Amino acid sequence: MKNILIIAVTGGIIGIIAGYLIFGRIMGEYVSIQALFSTEGGALGDVFRSVSGIKEMRQNILFTGLGGVILGALAGFFIRKR
């Protein structure tokens, strides 16, 4: 069980990094990680993140990380079964 968890977390980290490399750009430039995951700014910050596409970008990166966790857990399960 421990190996499955380690592989799943590793897959999630790889998924988040891949998601950032794929979805983390606006006009050819990478958005800073601080700006991407910042929750500061209140309602005005929420409007800015929504209009600039950062909100959707964040979702895509997190979904890619979730996919990495799922694939890592499946890989760990099949490795353990062998």
Report residue 79's pLDDT band, with 50, 70 and 90 as the boundaries: confident
| Helix, strand or coil, per DSSP, at residue 44 | helix
Give the CA count within 13 Å in the CB-facing half-sphere of 63.
9
Q: Measured between alpha carbons, how far is 39 from 58 in angstroms, rounded to an integer?
A: 12
pLDDT mean over 42-57: 69
Which domain range does residue 28 map to? Answer: 2-81
Residue 82 has pLDDT above 70, yes or no: no
What is the pLDDT, as a whole number, of residue 14?
A: 96
Tally of domains within the chain: 1
Conformational region of residue 23, where left means phi above 0, alpha means psi within -120 to 50, and beta covers everything else: alpha
Of 77, 74, 79, 78, nearest to 15 (Cα)?
74
Report residue 49's pLDDT band, with 50, 70 and 90 as the boundaries: low
Q: Which pTM value belongs to this model?
A: 0.79
| Helix, strand or coil, per DSSP, at residue 82 | coil
